[in-house]
Structure 1
Amino acid sequence: FNRTIAIVVSIKLVVFVLFGFYNRWWRYVSTKDMWGAARGVAVACLVADVTVYFASPVHDLRLPRSIAAMDLLLTLAFVAGSRLLARSLIERPGSGGLVARGKEVIVIGAGDAGQLIVKEMQRSRRLGYTPIGLIDDDPRKKNLRLHGVRVLGTTDELPHILRDNKPDELLIAMPSAAGEARQRVVDAARTARVPLKTLPGLHELIADDDNLASQLRPIEVEDVLGREPVDVDLDAIASYLADETVLVTGAGGSIGSELCRQIARAGAARLILVDNSEPALFGIERELVGERGFPASIPVLGDVQNRTKMRQVFDRYRPGVVFHTAAYKHVPLMEANPLESVRNNVLGTKIVADTAVEFGARRFVLISTDKALNPRAIYGQCKAICEWIVESYGARDDISTRFVAVRFGNVLNSAGSVVPIFRRQIERGGPVTVTHPEMTRFFMTIPEAAALVVQAGSIGGRGEIFVLDMGEAVSILELARNMIRLSGREPEREIAIEFVGTRPGEKLHEELWGEAEEVAETTHPKISRARRPSIEAAWLEDELLVLEHLVDEGETLELVSRLAAMLREPRRAEAPVLEDTLH
């Protein structure tokens, strides 16, 4: 008998080791792990029972089939039960477990993210949270329990729920929620005077980080202005970025750095990071290599105005796709420095475009702006000419590189933009300075803009201009008021708002479409095509030579006059580009 026991135990231990039973951290056991355990138990019992049946350690006694069945059931119960017991002991409440540990919280969202947050709070005492309820907009979930925590109702019932069950804090666990849904929660929390935190949006969530609780942060204006999550066609993106060498100019900037993150995620073979700012370049390269596990990031400290440097970079790495984001962008600064605006934004774009063509890049994607339409400012005029360069090069039959431009409005929280300026003013106690009470701007988040830029690059283009869906224009005054309220204070009572007048070159309202442009759909619902007669290539080439000469000679007044004349009477071909293919 003892010999039989020894044989069975030895066989099962060997099989369990082979199936990795002792390689798992059973505190975090999953359904997949338990199915693996069941398979291991079945194999172990089968091998052990067959061995005992044929070896017959007990003389003249065959193994009854009922014993084999009982062995399987008991072993499975023991393996599963021992692990369940271990997990229960690890995750059990401490003494006085009926009393909440730390802050009592209500979690908004009973989906995957919500259940993970609740689970993490219950498992980890150091977080200092005790979930006392859940809120979800699916009425069918009401009164259901998730890890023992009841779903109290929907967000429409939140004000009433907060009166009856006022928590220490609210946590939004809806990474894919639209800004409107988050705004309802923010309003209810402010009325009830309950502190609020949130998980970041889908694009901001750290990949492969199971500890969602560590990513909770205070709610910011981007969260309530954000719109529906962008539906990115990953197959289309992968078809032109996967295993490709991609070059990004301005890689350390707000849009450039986010483009780098998303391109790395799309499976590019190499990513060439070009920037003239050493700290910005160092920061994005370290993030990609150290935090995001993308070692094929090659930082190049260089200026797009330097044709020799650009040719060296393209010659060495031979990029197949180029995203040109490098640009000076601050409108008042460009008004004060028109020579540098043209040198960097216009001539720099031409240098990168020429080099991309010379070294056989397949695609060239320019980042443009809504300020390129009917521009009053030097910055807008320069970006309008950049669009012309794309149109002109894309229409040439002797160029195989596919040129496209992507036009959109302001991005929230970019360096030097209105959101960080308002945030610093609020932190100092005000006043918050608004240029004009009727000023409006189009906004989207940086991840959303970058995702749509990458998507637009996958759509066919021969000098085409793509325009991103920016939603409704946002009042800058309302933006300031929202940010003050999110800081926990009241606008104009605790934080003053001052009107300082429009700055040089600014317009009260920006546009996304020109009067002579036709709006055409594309394969993506949030990307439209602007159709217009293409620019006359020979005329543009001559004008660019004149601009280059004026910049080299330092003729500021003549340069400004020439820019205005070019924008006033551009020479265009007779018919717009009508290509509408997907490549």
Structure 2
Amino acid sequence: MLTPKRILPNFYKGDNRLKVLDQRYLPRWIVLLIDVFLVVLSMVLVYLIILGTPIKFRDFISVPAQGGFILAVNILFFFVFKTYSGIIRHSTFTDILKLALSALFTCVSLIGFNFLFAAIQGDRIFLTTSLLIYMLVSFTVMLLFRIAVKESYQFLRNTAAGKVKKRVAIVGVDDQTISLGKALTTESNMPFVLVGFLTEIFDSKRFKILGKPVIPIKDSFSETISKMDLDGILLISEGMNGKRKNQIIEDCIENNIEIFNVPNLESWNKKEDIHHHIKPLDIEDLLDRSPITIDNEMIELDLHDKVIMVTGGAGSIGSEIVRQVAGFEPKQLVILDQAESALHDLEIYLSQNHPKLNFITELADISNMYRMGLLFNKYDFDVIYHAAAYKHVPLIERNPHEAIYVNILGTVNLAILSASYEIKKFVMVSTDKAVNPTNVMGASKRVAEMYVQSLQNEKGVNTKFITTRFGNVLGSSGSVIPHFRKQISQGGPVTVTHKEIIRYFMTIPEACQLVLQAGTMGNGGEIYVFDMGKPVKILDLAEKMIRLSGLEPYEDIDIKITGLRPGEKLYEELLNDSSTSLPTHHPKIMISKTPVGKFEDLKKDVKQIIKMATRGKNDEVVQLLKDMVPEFISENSEFEVLDKPKMEELVKEKIK
């Protein structure tokens, strides 16, 4: 027996809180009963409407009998179209269409029956006007009921979760932005309320799209948004002019308005919810760069149906090279790395996203010549992308011998084997830190560059040794941006090594696109330098990232200057003083003409430095590096003492 004690717990949960949001979905029979009640209510409304007019109901049968007949037909079509099968609080267009069809077919069937009965009996049962009004009223009542339930549930859910929807405006008026606006206005679970569209095309507020005003930008974007009660701006930034995009972002930051980036709708994953595609703007989106275009046909000629190896294939750069190479359908792709967890993760990714790709992962250390020899003997490589390297400057500064093993010995092993097995192309990924190096990492990469360049000039070497050189890549492991992002999420402080430090930046996909492109262009022995755009001041980067997080630098999140790290320099370069830069047919790629010594001399020096590294003699290792790379001058490092004789000689020469 139902008692108040049994009923009340279904509505209250001990803390006196109504459990409306905790209720399960209503059974179908209850939904059907609700709809029956609504159509009966609609009949009463129709009766009251017609009662106040000169129109009279037909009197062949009584009005209640007419109502019962109509109800029976309507219930029949409820079952035909299964109007009760939808979940009221999650009603969709399909559910509304079912209601409309049931109301329409009920009306049409009754009118048809009415005229058929009149043809046989000479009189009609129903008033046609009443049937038409009933169709409209019943559909409207059931529709309004579903809208009311859906909106009430959404309001209660947001209120219970403490959510307040953000008031946002969309920048621009075109097919893309209108589709985005439609998604915002039709999806009830979106955390945004669309205020309107911002555009320079229209000069009047008279226009409306999706019921939302089109707001003209008359004087300036900053002035326009300052007059609006906005929490955020939605920006489809792909294809937008870099200067225009950055100005919009600066104006939003100035007015303390969040910026949300939305990819082009064509790239949306339809399986995901729409709000997963709308994300706060990343600092990567602020690069003032024009899109990079590559010659896919040339790259395909190099890679399609070829056996390719990528060393360091599980790293930030290597894994992106793997992903891009996979798109050109190589005959076989060999991915080599010594990081087993990262290699395993990449293996899973490729199996899921490139099921037709013929690939294999090899766990190996490139400094092990015997292991590398086995691989070259096992696979008939056509192209090698050499991205394996130790790159963290302070860590390598404390462990110079490790840079020798991997950055130099590993490159030597691969280069010698490539020449011996007559691999067609060997593309090495280098760094801007190899230019006028101030640290062991940069100097070791410069020796690796010199080795493959000088080997190219040896007789009988048919392999094309190509070097690519670029600066910092956004989002790579150890990159400054993930580091800043983590510090901001932890409440700060954000640490910057020097107020004036600047760096060149490029996204990982951009860098890897240019690596593939440069690989198609080389004849052997070249160092290809990438156009990295404008250098970025790291302090400005930190301040901008804090503001993009909706916080104020030095107030909400502090910024601390920690001093330059060992081996770190203020300004990175892509060319050294003795280089000459030559253009190529690609506007983003130049050739650095850097003189190199004889291979025999370099081979002896490399042999000597490897011997010193195996003995763990760091000072001797760094001294040999300085002898091999005369422009290597240590900065903020324990090895600065080794530069004293060189500096004294320079002073003497100046005095003379």
TM range (shorter): 0.7 to 0.9
Which residue of structure 2 aligns with residue 383 of structure 1? 445
Question: What code does the residue aligned with 2:376 have?
Answer: F
Match of 1:392 among 454, 466, 470: 454
Please list every run of 5 or more consecutive structure 1 residues that lacks an aligned counterpart in the other structure.
Answer: 1-26, 29-89, 571-583
Question: What code does the residue aligned with 2:392 have?
Answer: H
Which residue of structure 2 aligns with residue 547 of structure 1? 609
Question: What code does the residue aligned with 2:418 have?
Answer: A
Question: What code does the residue aligned with 1:114 have?
Answer: T
Which residue of structure 2 aligns with residue 445 of structure 1? 507
Question: What code does the residue aligned with 1:567 have?
Answer: V
**For residues 79-111 of structure 1, what are the alpha-carbon distances to aligned partners after superposition, in whole Å with 9 as ceiling and x for unaligned?**
xxxxxxxxxxx9xx9569999995543223445
Please say if residues 369 and 407 of structure 1, whose CA atoms lie closer than 8 Å, have aligned partners that are also in contact: yes
Q: Distance in 1 between matches of 2:205 and 2:150?
A: 25
Q: Distance in 2 between matches of 1:201 and 1:296?
A: 31
Work out whether 1:535 is the aligned partner of 2:600: no
- For the pair shown, which has the larger CA radius of gyration, 1 or 2? 2
The 5 Å alignment of 1:10-409 reads 94=147, 103-111=166-174, 113-135=176-198, 151-153=214-216, 157-177=220-240, 179-199=242-262, 213-291=275-353, 293=355, 295-409=357-471
Cα displacement (A) at 1:385: 0.7
Q: Distance in 1 between matches of 2:419 and 2:200?
A: 52
**For residues 4-44 of structure 1, what are the alpha-carbon distances to aligned partners after superposition, in whole Å with 9 as ceiling and x for unaligned?**
xxxxxxxxxxxxxxxxxxxxxxx99xxxxxxxxxxxxxxxx
Secondary structure of the structure 2 residue equivalent to 1:243 = coil
Question: What code does the residue aligned with 2:190 have?
Answer: L
- C-alpha change, 1:151 and 1:387, in structure 2 (3 Å) is farther
Cα displacement (A) at 1:481: 1.1
Which residue of structure 1 aligns with residue 529 of structure 2? 467
Q: Distance in 2 between matches of 1:542 and 1:505?
A: 26
The 5 Å alignment of 1:552-563 reads 552-563=614-625
- C-alpha change, 1:140 and 1:96, in structure 2 (3 Å) is farther
Please say if residues 408 and 512 of structure 1, whose CA atoms lie closer than 8 Å, have aligned partners that are also in contact: yes
Which residue of structure 1 aligns with residue 31 of structure 2? none
Question: What code does the residue aligned with 1:159 have?
Answer: S
Q: Distance in 1 between matches of 2:371 and 2:206?
A: 65
Between 232-241 and 313-322, the greater mean CA deviation after superposition = 313-322
Please say if residues 116 and 212 of structure 1, whose CA atoms lie closer than 8 Å, have aligned partners that are also in contact: no
- C-alpha change, 1:283 and 1:145, in structure 2 (3 Å) is farther
- C-alpha change, 1:481 and 1:123, in structure 2 (3 Å) is same
Q: Distance in 2 between matches of 1:207 and 1:234?
A: 24
**For residues 231-255 of structure 1, what are the alpha-carbon distances to aligned partners after superposition, in whole Å with 9 as ceiling and x for unaligned?**
1222222221222222111111111
Please say if residues 422 and 461 of structure 2, whose CA atoms lie closer than 8 Å, have aligned partners that are also in contact: no
Q: Distance in 2 between matches of 1:213 and 1:141?
A: 30
Secondary structure of the structure 2 residue equivalent to 1:533 = coil
Question: What code does the residue aligned with 2:527 have?
Answer: I
- C-alpha change, 1:569 and 1:369, in structure 2 (3 Å) is closer
Cα displacement (A) at 1:132: 4.1
Please list every run of 5 or more consecutive structure 2 residues that lacks an aligned counterpart in the other structure.
Answer: 1-92, 95-142, 156-164, 633-656
Work out whether 1:498 is the aligned partner of 2:549: no
TM-score, with structure 1 as normaliser: 0.75
Cα displacement (A) at 1:548: 2.1
Please say if residues 376 and 505 of structure 1, whose CA atoms lie closer than 8 Å, have aligned partners that are also in contact: yes
Please say if residues 288 and 294 of structure 1, whose CA atoms lie closer than 8 Å, have aligned partners that are also in contact: no
**For residues 362-387 of structure 1, what are the alpha-carbon distances to aligned partners after superposition, in whole Å with 9 as ceiling and x for unaligned?**
11111111111111211111010111
**Number of residue equivalences:** 482
Cα displacement (A) at 1:394: 2.5
Which residue of structure 2 aligns with residue 52 of structure 1? none
Secondary structure of the structure 2 residue equivalent to 1:127 = coil
Please say if residues 143 and 153 of structure 1, whose CA atoms lie closer than 8 Å, have aligned partners that are also in contact: no
Please say if residues 373 and 511 of structure 1, whose CA atoms lie closer than 8 Å, have aligned partners that are also in contact: yes
Cα displacement (A) at 1:222: 1.1
- C-alpha change, 1:201 and 1:383, in structure 2 (3 Å) is farther
Cα displacement (A) at 1:509: 1.0
Match of 1:477 among 539, 551, 554: 539
- Percent identity, aligned pairs only? 35
Cα displacement (A) at 1:525: 0.3
Q: Distance in 2 between matches of 1:248 and 1:231?
A: 23
Secondary structure of the structure 2 residue equivalent to 1:458 = helix
**For residues 521-574 of structure 1, what are the alpha-carbon distances to aligned partners after superposition, in whole Å with 9 as ceiling and x for unaligned?**
11110111111334311111111111222222333222111111111189xxxx
Q: Distance in 2 between matches of 1:345 and 1:232?
A: 29
Please say if residues 274 and 302 of structure 1, whose CA atoms lie closer than 8 Å, have aligned partners that are also in contact: yes
Secondary structure of the structure 2 residue equivalent to 1:328 = coil
Work out whether 1:422 is the aligned partner of 2:484: yes
- C-alpha change, 1:420 and 1:98, in structure 2 (3 Å) is closer
Q: Distance in 2 between matches of 1:261 and 1:227?
A: 23
Q: Distance in 1 between matches of 2:206 and 2:306?
A: 51
Please say if residues 230 and 448 of structure 1, whose CA atoms lie closer than 8 Å, have aligned partners that are also in contact: yes
Question: What code does the residue aligned with 1:429 have?
Answer: G
Please say if residues 135 and 155 of structure 1, whose CA atoms lie closer than 8 Å, have aligned partners that are also in contact: no
Secondary structure of the structure 1 residue equivalent to 2:521 = coil
Q: Distance in 1 between matches of 2:211 and 2:468?
A: 49
- C-alpha change, 1:528 and 1:201, in structure 2 (3 Å) is farther
- C-alpha change, 1:433 and 1:151, in structure 2 (3 Å) is same
Match of 1:566 among 617, 628, 631: 628
Secondary structure of the structure 1 residue equivalent to 2:422 = coil
- C-alpha change, 1:191 and 1:532, in structure 2 (3 Å) is closer
Between 352-361 and 278-287, the greater mean CA deviation after superposition = 352-361
Q: Distance in 1 between matches of 2:174 and 2:427?
A: 37
Which residue of structure 2 aligns with residue 67 of structure 1? none
Secondary structure of the structure 1 residue equivalent to 2:629 = helix
- C-alpha change, 1:418 and 1:550, in structure 2 (3 Å) is same
Question: What code does the residue aligned with 2:222 have?
Answer: P
- C-alpha change, 1:482 and 1:569, in structure 2 (3 Å) is closer
Between 149-158 and 224-233, the greater mean CA deviation after superposition = 149-158
Q: Distance in 2 between matches of 1:403 and 1:142?
A: 62
Work out whether 1:457 is the aligned partner of 2:457: no
Please say if residues 246 and 271 of structure 1, whose CA atoms lie closer than 8 Å, have aligned partners that are also in contact: yes
- C-alpha change, 1:142 and 1:439, in structure 2 (3 Å) is farther
Question: What code does the residue aligned with 2:256 have?
Answer: R
Please say if residues 120 and 213 of structure 1, whose CA atoms lie closer than 8 Å, have aligned partners that are also in contact: no
Q: Distance in 2 between matches of 1:513 and 1:544?
A: 23
Between 100-109 and 186-195, the greater mean CA deviation after superposition = 100-109
TM-score, with structure 2 as normaliser: 0.67
- C-alpha change, 1:504 and 1:270, in structure 2 (3 Å) is same
Q: Distance in 2 between matches of 1:504 and 1:97?
A: 61
Cα displacement (A) at 1:409: 0.9
Q: Distance in 2 between matches of 1:128 and 1:272?
A: 44
Q: Distance in 1 between matches of 2:474 and 2:575?
A: 21
Which residue of structure 2 aligns with residue 72 of structure 1? none
Which residue of structure 2 aligns with residue 518 of structure 1? 580
Question: What code does the residue aligned with 1:246 have?
Answer: I
